[in-house]
Structure 1
Amino acid sequence: MSTLTARGRRTDVTRLLPRGLLIGIIAVLLVFVLVPVVYILLASVNSDIGVASGDFWPSAFTLTNYSKIWTTVALGRGLANSIVVAGSVAVVCAFVAVATAYVLVRFDFRGRLTFLRGLLALQSIPGTLLLLPVFVLFSSFATATGVQVVGTRWGLFITYLTFALPFSTWVMVTYLRGLPRELEEAARIDGASSWRILTRIVVPLSWPGIVVSGIFAFLLGWNDVLFASIMTTPNTRTAAVALEVFGATQEGGALPVYGQMMAAALVCAVPVVVLYLIFQRYLVGGLTAGGVK
């Protein structure tokens, strides 16, 4: 009994806010987060007239919006393009980042600190400032070589990979610093090469960091509208651009199809939610890596 009392006292001492105030703040935050989500969900099963008139609760539930979006918004092609581009960026970025971070953490060479500082400096540059330079660079490359980059999926892949790699590499640098060197030294004594140590020891132990790096890169490609709207054509549009174009075409209309817009937004959010549910057990360990030394 005394142990439980002492444990409760330690919890009360370390708690920043009183229990009642903490519950109240969490409840307010949940309301701010959940009310818009519930409204989108209800609007997606409501008629366009009901949504336009401001009805929060549908007078009649219908799933026709979910069947219409595949032809009205052309959402199927956009989702396919987003999955291909964002998925490939996530996979390539995660494993390039872990290999780069391994070299930066475990080997001493001239310029290593400069490279690490450069990774931090790249994070301070807004992506909007690089939109025009990237477009001009890709256009000049197409003019010089005859290889089209703008309007292709692989051009968008290179763009997202460029922006995602610095952050992903820094995440992996922070994570690998916490891994014990003794395992690698024992493997090297047994004759293992650096590549074998990386693939057989470092990568299996670094899954939380790899997952965080991959999810960050995936979300960058999935949510981006600015670069995707400039670097794609109607055949290579991502889901985010398809939603933007669909919303813009509804402005000024007699009766905007708000129900279909809400349904399309929910469908586009499903892959991200599923990704989080699958890898949530890795996220905490990857995000907090390096916090305690």
Structure 2
Amino acid sequence: MTATRSIVVPRAVNRGGRPAPTRRDSDVTRLLPRPLLVTVIVVLLVVVLAPVLYILFASVNSDVSVAKGAFFPTELHLDNYLKIWTTVDLRNGLLNSVLVCGAVAIVSAAIAVMTAYVLVRYAFKGRLTVLRGLLALQSIPGTLMLLPVFVLFASVATALGIQIIGTRWALGITYLTFALPFSTWVMVTYLRGLPRELEEAARIDGASSFRILTRIVVPLSWPGIVVSGIFAFLLGWNDVLFASVMTNAESRTAAVALQVFGATQEGGAIPLYGQMMAASLICAVPVVVLYLVFQRYLVGGLTAGGVK
């Protein structure tokens, strides 16, 4: 008998020590041919970045050039970023937006994780009804709730003799009623993927339900908590309808301040396009920073529940 020896061909490695992808691997992972893939990426970048670049260029351009439709600035007007703090009530608006939306995000995420833990880990009568109700509440348009919420707050203010409409906490409660159903549903989806064995081991060691929630569930649920909090934050940050009705000159948010500034520019004269674009970019900075800080949590939170 002749012994056969198997020859193992070593796989090429990259400079970092990782195996280099073979032709078969690249064919499997690549969904489109390279020229078509590059074309699609370029088109998407143009669609996404073109409006952003236009706002950026218009914020340092003259109002006359923007009115004529010029894309690139003909002359730099960096003073637009300084003038908006006097022409637009942006400082007060940003402060109110950060306080209200930040509080709504924290409270909504905290209540959502506790509610979702009860709905996922405990079986009780009416549990499915609550879950279906959370899903049904997300299909109700917010515009239909504007008048009922306003009448409710006005009636409570008259009965108690206190001011509700025009305060920050009233606006926060309004946003909280719309953010809680979505935040709770996100946390329900995320907690379903957590292993029960960790909680059972902690319960055997004598840990209470509250201790399990704070020491085990919450540390493992940070991606879902961040996603629910960010969506609650954006719900209030981008809102104009409720903020314009439920606030006054002192408690108006940044979105309402931009709306008021844009309305005052309507008329025969050339609007202050440069200052409007500069104010819009400044209002977008907190959201961009929020996404950059919590980007790694967002990826895990948004894909939670997708694979079982």
Q: Which TM class, normalised by the smaller chain length?
A: over 0.9
Partner of residue 106 from structure 1, selected from 101, 121, 128: 121
Give the total of aligned pairs. 290
The aligned amino acid for 1:9 is D
Aligned pair 1:132/2:141, yes or no? no
Aligned pair 1:169/2:184, yes or no? yes
Partner of residue 6 from structure 1, selected from 21, 24, 34: 24
> What percentage of aligned pairs have identical amino acids?
76
- Alpha-carbon separation, structure 2, partners of 1:199 and 1:233: 39
- Could you say which residue in structure 1 is the equivalent of 2:95? 80
Aligned pair 1:159/2:174, yes or no? yes
Partner of residue 44 from structure 1, selected from 59, 62, 67: 59
Aligned pair 1:209/2:224, yes or no? yes
Offset at 1:23?
A: 2.5
- Alpha-carbon separation, structure 1, partners of 2:214 and 2:85: 42
1:184-199 aligned within 5 A = 184-199=199-214
- Alpha-carbon separation, structure 2, partners of 1:19 and 1:124: 41
Offset at 1:48?
A: 1.7
Offset at 1:61?
A: 1.3
Offset at 1:32?
A: 1.4
- Alpha-carbon separation, structure 2, partners of 1:85 and 1:185: 38
Offset at 1:28?
A: 1.4
- Alpha-carbon separation, structure 1, partners of 2:304 and 2:36: 30
1:221-240 aligned within 5 A = 221-240=236-255
- Alpha-carbon separation, structure 2, partners of 1:39 and 1:61: 14
Aligned pair 1:278/2:296, yes or no? no
- Alpha-carbon separation, structure 2, partners of 1:278 and 1:238: 23
- Could you say which residue in structure 2 is the equivalent of 1:120? 135
- Alpha-carbon separation, structure 1, partners of 2:268 and 2:219: 54
Structure 2 gaps, min length 5: 1-10, 13-20
Offset at 1:11?
A: 2.0
- Alpha-carbon separation, structure 1, partners of 2:34 and 2:185: 37
Moved more, 111-120 or 24-33: 24-33
Aligned pair 1:54/2:69, yes or no? yes
Secondary structure of 1:104's aligned partner? helix
- Alpha-carbon separation, structure 1, partners of 2:69 and 2:138: 41
- Alpha-carbon separation, structure 2, partners of 1:62 and 1:208: 42
CA RMSD after TM alignment: 1.2
Secondary structure of 1:58's aligned partner? coil
Secondary structure of 2:22's aligned partner? helix
The aligned amino acid for 1:126 is P
Secondary structure of 2:294's aligned partner? helix
Moved more, 221-230 or 28-37: 28-37
Partner of residue 263 from structure 1, selected from 246, 264, 278: 278
- Alpha-carbon separation, structure 2, partners of 1:177 and 1:18: 38
Offset at 1:22?
A: 3.0
- Alpha-carbon separation, structure 2, partners of 1:254 and 1:269: 27
The aligned amino acid for 1:113 is L
Per-residue Cα deviation, 1:179-207 (whole angstroms, up to 9, x for no partner)? 00011011111111100000011000000
Partner of residue 95 from structure 1, selected from 83, 100, 110: 110
Structure 1 gaps, min length 5: none
Partner of residue 79 from structure 2, selected from 64, 76, 99: 64
The aligned amino acid for 1:168 is S
Offset at 1:20?
A: 2.6
The structure with the larger Rg is 2
Per-residue Cα deviation, 1:253-282 (whole angstroms, up to 9, x for no partner)? 412100000000000000000000000000
- Alpha-carbon separation, structure 1, partners of 2:135 and 2:231: 16
The aligned amino acid for 2:239 is D
Using the size of structure 1 for normalisation, the TM-score is 0.96
